[in-house]
Amino acid sequence: MGFLPILLIFGIFYFLLFLPMQRQRKQTQKMLSSLENGQTVVTSGGVVGTIVSLDNENLILRVKPDNIKLQVARSAVSSLVSTEVKK
C-alpha cells in the first residue's frame, strides 16, 4: 500500500508530461519528412525562407529580400509558414 501514492504520481507525470512530448515529437518528425519544394518554413534560428531544394539531411532556402540561398539542416526547421506549394 505504501507504493500506491508513488505509482499514482508516476502515472500523472506520464500523462501530463511524457505523452504530450511524444505526440509533439511524432508531429515534428511527420512535418520534417513531408517537406517539399516551394514551402515556406521557419528555422529554429528564426530565419524565414522558401525551400528551393532538399535532400535527406539538408535543404536550401531562398531568403528574401535579396533572394539569398542558405543551406540548413533539415532538423533546423521548426515550423511551416504556409502549406501551399508556390509555382
pLDDT at 13: 86
pLDDT tens for residues 69-78?
999 999 999 9
Which secondary structure element, helix H or strand E, spans residue 32, and what is its range? Answer: helix 19-33
Instruction: Quickly count: other Cβ atoms within 10 Å of residue 49's Cβ.
Output: 23
Average pLDDT, the chain: 89
Q: 3-state class of 17 per DSSP?
A: helix
pTM, rounded to two decimals? 0.72
Cα dihedral 69, 71, 76, 77 in deg (nearest 10): 40
pLDDT tens for residues 37-73?
999 999 999 999 999 999 989 999 999 999 999 999 9
Residue 75 DSSP symbol: G
**Domain 36-87, what fold?**
SH3 type barrels. (2.30.30)
Q: What values do phi and psi take at 46, rounded to 5?
A: 95, 5
